[in-house]
């Protein structure tokens, strides 16, 4: 039978945990991009960057956000179209227009719009 010795704290290496990023925005909240003219409703949050390196490297270096912050998945709209966007926390701000977002996928995920936010449908709640 293998023997399991307790770890001796005097000889074990230290493990430094990464800083914990706190999400400023939540699912259902309507937000606006700080630099580009679009807004959207948040439908998912990654605590840190979770997209491809190719996607990240395509962002111009001068405006490339750090990876160690929350990133938000948005059902987004601008004057020309609707789409899904992936945006860093530093590039988002609350949308105070109190206007709903016009995106065809909203009805599948959310119900009701009040006070600048959408309510997640029950079947999508954890």
pLDDT tens digits, residue range 28-81?
999 999 999 999 999 999 999 999 999 999 999 999 999 999 999 999 999 999
Q: What is the pLDDT of residue 6?
A: 53
Whether the model clears a pTM of 0.95, i.e. scores above it, the answer is no
Q: Where are the beta strands (DSSP E) in 47-81?
A: 71-77
DSSP state of 46: E
Residue 115, classed as helix, strand or coil, is coil
Q: What is the mean pLDDT of residues 5-27?
A: 67
Q: What is the pLDDT of residue 77?
A: 98
Q: What is the pLDDT of residue 123?
A: 75
């Amino acid at each position: 039978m293998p023997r399991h010795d307790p770890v001796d704290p005097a000889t074990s290496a230290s493990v430094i945990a990464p800083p914990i990023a706190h999400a400023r925005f939540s699912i259902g909240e309507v937000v606006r991009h700080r630099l580009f003219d679009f807004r959207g409703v948040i439908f998912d949050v990654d605590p840190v960057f979770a997209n491809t390196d190719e996607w990240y490297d395509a962002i111009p270096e001068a405006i490339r956000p750090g990876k160690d912050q929350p990133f938000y998945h948005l059902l987004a709209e601008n004057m020309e179209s609707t789409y899904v966007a992936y945006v860093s926390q530093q590039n988002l701000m609350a949308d105070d227009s109190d206007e709903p977002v016009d995106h065809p996928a909203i009805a599948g995920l959310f119900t009701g719009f009040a006070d600048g936010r959408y309510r997640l449908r029950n079947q999508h709640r954890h």
